[in-house]
Structure 1
Amino acid sequence: MPDVGDTVTASLTVDPHDATTSAVLAVTSPSGAVTTPTTGTADGGKTWTATLTYTAAGLWRLSWTVTGTGASVQHEVVSVAPAPAVGVTGRVYATTTQLAEYLGAAPPLDSARLLLEASRMLERDFLVPAVYDTTDDGLPSDPVVASALAEAVCAQAEFWMEVGVENDISGPLQGVSIGSVQIQYGAGENRSGPSYYAPKMLRALRSLPGDRFRLVAWTV
C-alpha cells in the first residue's frame, strides 16, 4: 500500500495491440479532482506507463482508456495511507517519550494516536467535573497533577495495546468511585459488562492529592 507522497509508475499491458493502439490515463483523487498524466510506450504499444504522485490519503481511481486495436476501459482503485504520524493535533496529557518510560520499552508506532484517544477519554469521562490549575493551553500547571494525568493516559494506552482499541466498545463501565465522584453506566439487569477503563488509569486518578485536584460530585 503506497503512502502519501509516494511517486509511482502506473502501467497497463494491452493485448492485442499494433501501431493504432493508444492509451491515456485519468487519475481521480480522493477529492474528486481528475488529472491526466503523460503516458508513453517503449514497446510498440503493448505496455503503457505514466508517472504520478499520491498527494493525499484515501482512495484513488486510475482509469485507462485504450483506443485502436485492443480498445478497452480499465479501472483500478488504489488505497493510499497517510504519512506515519509522530505527533497529533489536540490536547495530549502524555508524550511518546513518557509512554516509553512508562512501558520501559519502545512504544508502538501508533503511540501518538493511542495517547490522543486516551487523553480525549480522560477529558470526556473524568476531567469535566474536575477543578485544578491549568496553563493557557488547558494542561495542568501543577507538576504533581500533570504527572498523575500523564500516568493515567499512559496506563490507558498500555491497556489498549494489550486488549485492542476495538474492545472500547465491548461494554461500558459498571461503577467506579473516585473521591466524591460515582460513575455508573448501564441500567437494569445490565450490570456485568466489562470496563473499558484501564485499572491502572483509575488508580492513577485516585492518587491525585485533594488539595491540588478536586472532583465535584457527579453521577452518570
Structure 2
Amino acid sequence: MARIYATADDLEDYTGQAPPEDADQLLARATRMLEAEVLRLCWYDVDTDGMPINTVVLEAIQRAVCAQVQWWGELGDSIGAAGVGWGSVGIGSVSLSRSGSASGAASAAREIAPQVGDELQSPDLTPDIFQLGAVCSW
C-alpha cells in the first residue's frame, strides 16, 4: 500500500478551512510528489512500511504535504494542466510566450511549495532525527 502522510483532517487543521472533496486524492498526489522530489533526498528513521518513526518528523512531513496541497489550491491547478497548451499568445499589444515545450512540467503546480521548505527546516527537526538533503552512498 502506498504511503500517505496526511489526512483530510490534517489538511483542515493546517489550512483552517474545510478540505476539498478530492482531498484524499490530492494528499496522495502531494505525498508521491514530495517523496520523488524532496523526501528521497532526506535522512530519517522509518518503520517497515516506510513511515517516519519519530513523531516530530512525521508531523513535519504531514505539514509539508498539506502545504503542497494548499499551494495547489491557491494556484487552482494540481497537475500542471494550467501550464500546458501555449507556446505564445498575443492579445492586442500584450504578447506572452513560453520558450521550449509547452508541457505541464513548466507549470507552477509542478513546483515545490515554498512553505514545504519551511516545514522541513523547522528547528524541531534536529540533525539526529532528520536531515534535509542528506545524500549518501553505500
Preserved contact between residue 81 and residue 107 of structure 2 (Cα < 8 Å): no
Aligned partner of 1:199 in structure 2 is: 114
- Cα deviation digits, residues 52-88 of structure 1 (max 9, x gap): xxxxxxxxxxxxxxxxxxxxxxxxxxxxxxxxxxxxx
Aligned partner of 2:126 in structure 1 is: 209
Aligned partner of 2:92 in structure 1 is: none
Question: Which structure 1 segments of 5+ residues have no match?
Answer: 1-88, 172-192
Q: Quote the Cα distance in structure 2 between the aligned partners of 1:212 and 1:159.
A: 27
1:129 paired residue among 31, 41, 65: 41
Q: CA deviation at 1:217?
A: 4.0
Q: Quote the Cα distance in structure 2 between the aligned partners of 1:152 and 1:111.
A: 15
Task: Assess, with a 3 A threshold, how the Cα gap between structure 1 residues 129 and 118 changes in structure 2: closer, same or farther.
Answer: same
If each structure's helix is expressed as a fraction of its own residues, which one has the higher value?
2
Identity of aligned residues (%): 38
Question: Which structure 2 segments of 5+ residues have no match?
Answer: 85-105
* 1:13-32 → structure 2 map (5 Å cutoff): none
TM-score, normalization: structure 2? 0.70
User: Which one-letter code corresponds to 2:78 in the other structure?
Assistant: V
2:71 paired residue among 137, 159, 162: 159
Q: CA deviation at 1:169?
A: 7.5
Q: CA deviation at 1:209?
A: 2.2
Q: CA deviation at 1:166?
A: 3.6
* Number of aligned positions between the proteins: 109
Q: CA deviation at 1:132?
A: 0.9
Task: Assess, with a 3 A threshold, how the Cα gap between structure 1 residues 162 and 130 changes in structure 2: closer, same or farther.
Answer: same
If each structure's strand is expressed as a fraction of its own residues, which one has the higher value?
1
Q: State the 4+ residue runs in structure 1 displaced beyond 2 angstroms.
A: 166-171
Q: Quote the Cα distance in structure 1 between the aligned partners of 2:129 and 2:4.
A: 20
Q: CA deviation at 1:170?
A: 3.7
Task: Assess, with a 3 A threshold, how the Cα gap between structure 1 residues 101 and 202 changes in structure 2: closer, same or farther.
Answer: same
- Greater relative CO, 1 or 2 (CA 8 Å, sep 6+): 2
Please identify the structure whose Cα radius of gyration is greater: 1
Task: Assess, with a 3 A threshold, how the Cα gap between structure 1 residues 168 and 157 changes in structure 2: closer, same or farther.
Answer: farther
TM-score, normalization: structure 1? 0.45
Aligned partner of 2:51 in structure 1 is: 139
